Structure 1
Amino acid sequence: MDLQIHGNTALVTASSSGLGKASAKALAREGVNVVINGRDEAQLEEAKSEVEAVATGEVVAQPGDLTDEDDIEALVQTTVDEFGGLDHLVTSAGGPPSGPFLETDDEDWYQAYDLLVMSVVRLAREAEPHLREGDGGTIVNITSRSVKEAIDSLVLSNSVRMSVIGLEKTLSKEFGPDIRANAVLPGPHETARIKELVEQAVDRGEYDSYEEGLEARGSGIPVGRIGDPMELGNTVAFLSSPQSGFINGVSVPIDGGSGSSNL
């Protein structure tokens, strides 16, 4: 399927690894000019090379901290300066610390809100005038399946990420028809974090091999495995394209059917 976004421009935050990087790769493969972002400049440069390997457009790496308002302004401005505009915004951010409610203090709550919610607020505010200028701007927020079902010991993610969904739904109405806003809710995917956890379990003797550990993690998922990050990236690219032009204000679980929520 031709997604009809060749020559467009996208900004993908927290894209030096994981699902953000997969989204950048999926867009770049479609000929989109992509600005990727991360705090670790060495890791960001490695990611740039990886995205460039599949890209048919240009790739620019812009370091920045998503909790820093000046860095967010610089991210959007760099994108516009480099490519003359901005068509697609994909927001991603690292997860907040795990832990139960009674072991989570006020500082943890404020930091999680700043990282997960205010980063999206500021990015949308900065990007909005540029997204309106094209033929159909899009925003895709990468959040978590925790907005559908609370996950044990993830009180911050369970609670704070809900605000991103409320914001996404509001933007889908306030920014339309010029800009569509949607969200994706990933379940477990084979990211660097999952790889690290499985390898640690192998080292502890819980599994005989990485493959066995990975298979165990997918045992409760109806499709029988965890996700490939590019499967989520491909969905993000689709939601950023005119091929999904009547999809607006929705939150799409990408979890292999592992969720139990009816909605």
Structure 2
Amino acid sequence: MDLAISGNSAIVIASSSGLGKAAAESLLKEGVSVIINGRDEKRLQESADELKKLQAGRVIAVQGDITKKEDLKKIVQTAVDEYGRIDHLVTSAGGPPSLSFLDSEEEDWYYAFDLLLMSVVRLVKEAFPYLKKDGGGTIVNITSISVKEAINDLVLSNSVRMAVIGLMKTLSKELAPELRANAVLSGFHETKRVQDLFEKQIADGKFQSYEQALDSKRKNIPLQKIGSPAELGDLIAFLSSPKSSYINGSSIVIDGGSSASNL
């Protein structure tokens, strides 16, 4: 399916690896020129070099910390300077520390707030003047299934990611019709982070093989498989395209049916 977004440009933050990188790859394959971002300059450049091999849309890497306002400004300005336009924003962030409520400190909460919520607030405010041009654009927030169902020892993610959904829903009303805003709620996907976790668990003796580690997760998913990051990336490309032009203010779960929530 031609998504009719070739020639557009996009910013995908926290995209040097994982789900953010998958989103960038799917957009590039559709002919979109993309700004990717990460804190680790070496890993970011390696990802940029890998994405350039697709020989699709242009890709430019901008190193920066999304908890810092000035770094987000630099990302937006680079997109404007290099591409002359911004059509799509995809927001993402690595998870905050795994903690129970009683183990969390006040500074943990402020960090999670800056990482998960304020990164979106600041990026949208900075990019909005450009997004609304040329007929408008899209915002897609990558969040987590923890928005629907609290996950043990993830009190920061359980709490603060819900604020991202509240922001997304508000943006979908206030910025329409020029902009559409949606969110994807990811379940278990086989990212590099998950692969590293499995390898550690094998080394610690919890599993005898990688396949056994996969099986331990697959058995609780109705589709009996772990999600591929590319599947989530393709959903984001679709939500960024005119093919989804009547989808606005939606939180779309992509978890193979593993969640038990009715809504």
TM-score, L = length of structure 1: 0.98
Distance apart, 1:37 and its partner CA: 0.2
Match of 1:238, SS state, is helix
Matched pairs, number:
263
Q: How far did residue 135 of structure 1 move?
A: 2.7
The residue that corresponds to 2:179 in the other structure is: 179
Match of 2:57 in 1: 57
Native 8 Å contact 1:30 1:55 kept in 2:
no
Q: Distance in 2 between matches of 1:74 and 1:114?
A: 17
- In structure 1, what is the equivalent of residue 5 of structure 2? 5
Give 1:200 deviation, angstroms: 1.3
1:74 equivalent in structure 2: 74
- For each residue in 1:31-71, what CA deviation from the matched residue of structure 2 results, as whole angstroms up to 9, or x when unmatched? 00000000011000011012112241111000111011111
1:102-181 counterparts in 2 under 5 A?
102-181=102-181
**Maintained 8 Å contact 1:88/1:139:** yes
Summarize the Cα distance change of 1:55–1:156 in structure 2 as closer, same or farther, 3 Å threshold: farther
Give yes or no for the alignment of 1:242 onto 2:259.
Answer: no
- Measured after TM superposition, the shift of residue 211 of structure 1 is 1.7
The answer (yes or no) to whether the contact 1:25–1:55 under 8 Å persists in 2 is no
What is the 5 A alignment of 1:1-40? 1-40=1-40
Q: Read off the aligned partner of 1:113 and give its amino acid letter.
A: F
CA shift at 1:256, angstroms?
0.5
Residue type matched to 1:143 in 2?
A: T
The 8 Å contact of residues 9 and 86 in structure 1, kept in 2 or not, is answered as yes
Q: Deviations over 1:102-154 (max 9, x none)?
A: 00011000110011000000001011110100233000000111010000000
Deviations 1:81-106 (A, max 9, x none): 10001000000011100111000011
What corresponds to 1:208 in structure 2? 208
Which residue of the partner structure matches residue 199 of structure 1? 199
Q: CA-atom RMSD, angstroms? A: 0.8
1:113 & 1:57 partners in 2: Cα distance? 33
Amino acid corresponding to residue 235 of structure 2 in structure 1: T
SS across alignment from 2:95: coil
Amino acid at match of 1:213: A
Pairwise mapping of residues 77-92 of structure 1 onto structure 2 (< 5 A)? 77-92=77-92
SS of the residue 2:11 aligns to: strand
| One-letter identity of the residue aligned with 2:74 | A
> Structure 1: which 5+ runs fail to align?
none
Secondary structure, counterpart of 2:149 in structure 1: coil
TM-score of the two chains, using structure 2 as the length reference: 0.98
- Report the Cα distance in structure 1 between the residues aligned to 2:83 and 2:167, rounded to whole angstroms: 27
Aligned-partner Cα distance in 2 for 1:55–1:134: 26
**How far off is 1:207 after superposition?**
2.3
Supply the distance in 1 between the matched residues of 2:25 and 2:136 (Cα, whole angstroms): 21
- For the residue of structure 1 that corresponds to 2:10, the secondary structure is strand
- Mean Cα displacement is larger for which, 114-123 or 134-143? 134-143
Q: Deviations over 1:149-198 (max 9, x none)?
A: 00000000000011100000000001000000000000010011110111
Output the CA distance in 1 between the equivalents of 2:118 and 2:249. 19
Gaps of 5+ in 2: none
| 1:217, distance to aligned residue in structure 2 (A) | 1.5
Contact preservation (8 Å) 1:35, 1:79: yes
Matched residues in 1 for 2:168 and 2:145: separation? 15
Structure 1 segments (4+ residues) deviating >2 Å: 204-208
Identity, % of aligned positions? 60
1:31–1:55 contact (8 Å) kept in structure 2: no
**Aligned AA (2:198):** V
